[in-house]
Structure 1
Amino acid sequence: MDVMSDLQAWLAATGLARARGVFVTATDTGVGKTWVGRQVIGALRTHGLDVVARKPVESGWNAVDMTTTDAWQLGQAAGNDPAQVCPYHFHAPLSPPRAAALEGVTLNIATLQQACWAGVTGQQYLLVEGAGGFYSPLAADGLNADLAVALGLPVLLVTEDRVGCLSPVLLSLEAAQRRGLQIAGIALNRRNPPPFGMDNAADLQAFTTIPLWQTA
């Protein structure tokens, strides 16, 4: 499948607008999940979908300026109350289960799953953003991958379009496949000018037919 630079064309190729929702995950932390999620929310809303955004747990929470949080940014894009987007947030900039433990809280996957669906009606579209990479710890009893399985939503995999991203993308695809998950699309998020000769999109096409979106 051709690599796409147009978000709407890529969204159509993924079929995500016809799904019940999507789980946004990544190959690693800090690759632009929230930025990509915001663009996807905007595109879904142009299709007339009522999007409910959830970031069920966020660590490194800035209580002084909520506008810096992922939850606030997702809420703004979807027109949701940021307080409802993220029911569990913790101060320490650590993995969610470790940050939660420092505050005397134990998170589990079942609780996060329930928090994601809470208040969502049958006419609404659920977009859930995980924390960190696909295999990053998310709760005391599981990883982001475990929440993805519990939710049963198609997966959007985000990676930074840089040297070294191919291996974690392919590893994430294999891990998702082994868990019976559908990865509907891959977003290659270009945050810096690429070095001469790099073409991760073309290289990935040799290994997968999953629709690729290369951001500008």
Structure 2
Amino acid sequence: MQKKLFITGIGTGVGKTICSAVLVQYFEADYWKPVQSGDLFYTDSMAVKDLTGEGAQFYPETYRLKLAASPHQSASAEGKLIKVSDFELPQTEKNLIVEGAGGLMVPLSDDELMIDLMEKLNIPVVLVVREYLGCINHSLLSIMALKEKGLQLEYLVLNGHFPHDTERVICAYLNTETKVIRIPDMEKPTKENIENITKQLKNL
């Protein structure tokens, strides 16, 4: 059965791209980044390709924006207006990993958020969490927002080390069908490290 997953996070910089690379390799999936906001010289698509090799198909972004900022601001700087209706899932017979920008409530425009795009695409969600002061609050708010929209949280990714008390509280708010993936800290993300982590994952 074909697997399609939307990778989001509890905020910016929690490791969505690294986790996307792991899941692209694990599921032997293609990859799509709907919106690239900034870093056009080295996009998330380029980073995932470097970390996973040549096996995947990398679909072009619907929006490539120069300013490294929230997509609504980056688009406004170029005189563009992002509309959720502009996005369509790439057609592929393989599994597909879709990586969002920032967290659920990142604005695409003044009227639409990243979670609205997730609702439109209507595929299961992977929520990436990294440990920091405030991550419990951000995690539970994200889980609640997904439930409110009726979006399926298929995987929660604990990216890096977590104190037991933090992990316990976050996981207590998951539905029983949500699987937890643990990805260890990496000093430096490399293709070899991604391969090693992928080999450690089982039965996703």
**Normalising TM by the smaller chain, what interval?**
0.7 to 0.9
Can you list the C-alpha shifts for 1:180-202, whole angstroms capped at 9, x where unaligned? Answer: 11000111111xx66xx654222
- Runs of 5+ unmatched residues, structure 1: 1-17, 46-50
Amino acid at match of 2:168: A
TM-score in terms of structure 2 length: 0.79
Can you list the C-alpha shifts for 1:6-35, whole angstroms capped at 9, x where unaligned? Answer: xxxxxxxxxxxx454001111101110000
Alignment of 1:45-60 (within 5 A): 45=28, 51-60=29-38
Are the equivalent residues in 2 in contact too, given 1:157–1:183 (CA < 8 A)? Answer: yes
Amino acid at match of 1:212: V
**d(CA) in 2 for partners of 1:96, 1:174:** 23
Match of 2:169 among 203, 209, 216: 203
Can you list the C-alpha shifts for 1:27-49, whole angstroms capped at 9, x where unaligned? Answer: 1011100001100111101xxxx
Q: What SS class does the counterpart of residue 138 from structure 1 fall into?
A: coil
Are the equivalent residues in 1 in contact too, given 2:7–2:128 (CA < 8 A)? Answer: yes
Q: Which residue of 1 aligns with 2:82?
A: 107
Q: Which residue of 1 aligns with 2:22?
A: 39
Match of 1:88 among 57, 63, 71: 63
Are the equivalent residues in 2 in contact too, given 1:25–1:156 (CA < 8 A)? Answer: yes
**d(CA) in 2 for partners of 1:169, 1:27:** 6
**d(CA) in 2 for partners of 1:134, 1:91:** 21
| Runs of 4+ with >4 A deviation | none
Match of 1:30 among 13, 28, 32: 13
1:72 aligns with 2:30: no
TM-score in terms of structure 1 length: 0.75
Flag the 1:78–1:149 CA change in 2: closer, same or farther, 3 A: farther
Q: What SS class does the counterpart of residue 101 from structure 2 fall into?
A: coil
Alignment of 1:187-198 (within 5 A): 187-190=157-160
Q: Determine what percentage of the aligned residue pairs are the same residue.
A: 30
**d(CA) in 2 for partners of 1:86, 1:78:** 19
Q: Which residue of 1 aligns with 2:183?
A: 215
- Runs of 5+ unmatched residues, structure 2: 185-204
Flag the 1:34–1:176 CA change in 2: closer, same or farther, 3 A: same
Amino acid at match of 1:21: K
Can you list the C-alpha shifts for 1:55-101, whole angstroms capped at 9, x where unaligned? Answer: 111111233xx2xx21212344373465x332421111111121011
Q: What SS class does the counterpart of residue 124 from structure 1 fall into?
A: coil
Can you list the C-alpha shifts for 1:82-122, whole angstroms capped at 9, x where unaligned? Answer: 5x3324211111111210111122111111x22xx24x13x
Displacement of 1:207? 2.7
Q: What SS class does the counterpart of residue 161 from structure 1 fall into?
A: coil
Flag the 1:19–1:168 CA change in 2: closer, same or farther, 3 A: farther
